[in-house]
Structure 1
Amino acid sequence: MITFKQMEALYWISELGNFELAAQKLHTTQSAVSKRINELEVIFGMSIFDRSRRSARLTEKGHELLPMAKELIELRDKTIECMASPTVLHKRFRIGVTELTALTWLPNLVNLIKQNYPKIIIESHVELSSVLFEKMDNDLLDFIIAPDVQKSLRFKIHTLSTVENAWMCTPDYTENKDTIELRDISQFNVLTQGTPSGTGLIYDQWLAQHKSAPSQTLISHNLITQIGLTLSGFGITYLPLNAMSSLIENNQLKVLNIVPKLPAIQYAAIHSSDRNSQIYQDVADYAQQTCDFSHFLLTPC
C-alpha cells in the first residue's frame, strides 16, 4: 500500500539532494526515510534512486514518479485545508520575517493566528529579505513579511504599512543643528544595511540616484548591531523613526535634518501565487490588522 509518507520522502529527497536533509525536513530519522523509499521500490519492483552516486539522483523511473508524488501531496494538502475548519486544521505553517518585524509586532500576529487556528504549528524564521525570498522560492517558507522589493508574478503581495526611517546619531556626535544636504553626508561615518536587506537595497539605490554614496561606510546586516554601533557614537545611520521614539525621547539618539528625506519603506505580506487556500488569505488579513512598527520590544542600553 502506498502512503503519503513515502511520497513525501521521495519528493523531499529529490528537492534537497540527500536523505539526511529530507529527514530533517520531515522531522524524522534518516533510517525512517530510507525505509519509506525501500518500501516504494518493493511495491513498484524498481529502483527509484541511483545509489551508485554520492548524492541522491533519481533513476529514469524515479523521474516519472516524482511529478505524480508532488501532485498527490498537493492534492492532500489542498483537501485538508479546504475541508477542515480552522479549529481542527493541523498544519505546520512557516513564517519568515525581517528583524524589524520580529522586534515589533510579530508576537501579536502569532497570537492572532493561534486564536483562529488553535491547532496550527507555527515556525518563525528571522532572516534578511533576500534570504526570505530565496527560501520561499524553494518552498522552505510558506509566508513572509518583508519590504516590497520583488515584483514577480510568482508572488502574491498584500500591502501592509510603510516604515518611515530617519538619519540619526548620538547627540554629541555632531553639533550641527541646521539642515544638512544629502550630498554632504560624506563628512560623517555612515552605518548602512547591506543590499541583502530590502531596506539596505532600496536606500543604496536611492543614494546612488542622488549621487550621495558615503565615503566612510560600515555595513551591518543586523538591526540590533546597527542600533548599538550608533549609540556607541560610531557615526550616523538610518533607523525606523517610530520604533526609536523612546531612545530619542531619552536623548540617547537625535534625528538629523538631512534633505531630501529618506523615502518610506513599503512592507508587504507575501506568499507564492499558487497558494490559494483560506489560511493564506486569513494570515494576510491578520498581518494587516496587527502590523505596527512603532512598538519596539527591546530597548538597547
Structure 2
Amino acid sequence: MNVRFLESFVCVAKLGSFKAAADMLHTTAAAVASRIATLEEQFGVRLFERDHRGVLLTRSGTELEPYAEKMIELQTRMFNAIGDPDAFSGMLRIGVIETVAHTWLPDLLSRFAQKYPRATLEIGSDLTPRLRDDLLRGTLDFAILSDEITPGFIENRRIANLAMRWVGSPSLARQFPAGAPLGFQDLAKHPIISFYRESGVYRNIAQSAGASIDLRISFFSSIGAMIDMARSGFGSSLLPVAVMQQDLLDGRLVPLDVTPAPAALPLVASFRMEPASPLAEALVDMARASCEDFIANSPCDVLAR
C-alpha cells in the first residue's frame, strides 16, 4: 500500500477539503482525489461522503484514520532508525522565534549539519503568529514557537519553559521604592518596553496589570532593540533571562522584583505531520539537546521554576 495515498487521506480527513489537502501536499486536488479513489477501491468501501458542507469521513474512514496515522508515523521512525543520513539531500525549512536565534540556534544548526551533511536548511526568525501562519500554509516544515498550534495535522513538542524577568537600568532601578516587591502602579510611573501586541509576553503584562492601571507601553519586535532601550534607562522591560545573562552579570541591567511574578516563556517545537519533512522528529531531539546544553552551561538560572 502506498503510504503517500494514506498521507493524502489523513490530510483530507483533518482539513475537510480536497483542495486544502492538495495545497498542503503541494499537488492538485485531482491528484488527491485519485489517491483517495485508489484507497477506496483497495478497501472496497467509501472513505468520504461529499455534500454541500464539504467532505466528511464515513464510518469506514473514521476507523481507518488512526491506522493511517500510525503507518505514517512508522515510516518516519523507520527512516530515522535505519536511513543513511548521507542519503538525505533535500531541504528543510525551519523558523524560530528570536529568543532561540539569540541563544542555542547555532548549536542546533551544527548538530544538524554533522548528522545530515548533504541536507540544506532554509532558516528564518520571526514572530510566533507569522511562523504559525507559515507552518499552516506549508511554507515552513518546522518551527520553534512560544505557543502550541491546534490544528490536527501539526504536532507540538514542549522543549522548555524559560524564566522571564522584569529588568531596568541601574539608574531606573534607583527610582523605584527599595525593600519591597514592586507593583504595576510602580512600573506605570515609567515607560514599559514590551514585545509586539499579539505576543504572549504582552498578554502577560496586560493581564497582570489589570484594566485599572494606565501603562505607557512601547512595542518592539526585536529583542536587541528592547535590551538597548532598557540599558539606556528609557523604561522597564520583561525579557527572557536567557537572552540578557551577560547584561545581568555586568550590571548593565538590574532585576526588578515585580508582583505578580511573570509567567514563563514556553518553547514549543511544532512540525507538519507529513513526509515532506521526514527529519522533523530527529530535529526535535536535536533541538531539545541543544536547549538542554545551553541551560546547563548558562551562568544564570534561565529555566522557570
TM-score normalised according to structure 2 size: 0.67
Cα-Cα RMSD: 3.5
- Alignment partner, residue 239 of structure 1: 239
Alignment CA distance shift 1:132-1:214 (3 Å): farther
Kindly state the Cα deviation for residue 271 of structure 1 after the two structures are TM-superposed.
0.7
Match of 1:188 among 176, 187, 190: 190
Contact 2:191 2:234 survives alignment (8 Å): yes
Please name the residue that 2:252 is paired with.
252
Could you give the per-residue CA deviations for residues 204-261 of structure 1, whole angstroms, max 9, x where no partner exists?
45336x4465521111111111111111111001111243221122121111111111
**8 Å CA contact 1:190, 1:235 repeated in 2:** yes
Q: 1:223 to 1:284 in 2, by over 3 A?
A: same
Q: Distance in 1 between matches of 2:212 and 2:221?
A: 21
Cα 1:149–1:250 shift into 2, 3 Å: same
Distance of 1:119 and 1:105 partners within structure 2: 22
Q: Which whole-Å CA distance do the structure 2 matches of 1:90 and 1:276 have between them?
A: 13
Unaligned residue ranges in structure 2 (runs of 5+)? 1-18, 38-71, 300-305
Give 1:54-203 correspondences, 5 Å limit.
64=30, 82=79, 84-175=83-174, 176=176, 177-178=178-179, 179-201=181-203, 203=204
Residue 207, structure 1, aligned to residue 208, structure 2 = yes
Instruction: Measure, in 2, the Cα distance between the counterparts of 1:86 and 1:146.
Output: 26
| Alignment partner, residue 225 of structure 1 | 225
Q: Distance in 1 between matches of 2:289 and 2:220?
A: 30
Q: 1:214 to 1:167 in 2, by over 3 A?
A: farther
Q: Is the 8 A contact 2:103 2:242 kept in 1?
A: no
C-alpha contact 1:131 1:196 (8 A) present in aligned 2: no
Match of 1:59 in 2: none
User: SS where residue 287 of structure 1 aligns?
Assistant: helix
| Residue matched to 1:47 | none
Aligned 8 A contact 2:165 2:255 in 1: yes
Residue deviations 1:40-83, cap 9 Å, x none?
Answer: xxxxxxxxxxxxxxxxxxxxxx86357659x9xxx9xx89x948
SS of 1:259 mapped into structure 2 = coil
Amino acid in the other structure paired with 2:208:
L
CA distance in 1 between counterparts of 2:32 and 2:153 reads 22
Runs (5+) with no aligned partner, structure 1: 1-10, 17-24, 26-61, 297-301
| Cα displacement (A) at 1:200 | 3.4
1 CA distance for matches of 2:164 and 2:87? 42
Q: Distance in 2 between matches of 1:90 and 1:213?
A: 55
The farther-off stretch of 275-284 and 220-229 is: 275-284
Distance 1:187 1:86 in 2: 57
CA change 1:274–1:256 in 2 (3 A) is same
Percent identity over the alignment? 21
Please identify, of 237-246 and 254-263, the stretch whose mean Cα deviation from structure 2 is larger.
237-246
Provide the rounded CA distance (Å) in 2 between the counterparts of 1:160 and 1:240.
15
CA distance in 2, matches of 1:245, 1:193: 18
For 1:38, the equivalent position in structure 2 comes to none
Is the contact made by 1:147 and 1:199 (CA closer than 8 Å) also made in structure 2? no
Structure 1 residues 269-278 or 216-225, which shifts more?
269-278
How far 1:115 sits from its partner (Å)? 1.4
Contact 1:162 1:264 in 2 (8 A): yes
Write the mapping of 1:22-41 to structure 2, written as runs, cut at 5 A: none
- Using structure 1 for the length normalisation, give the TM-score: 0.67
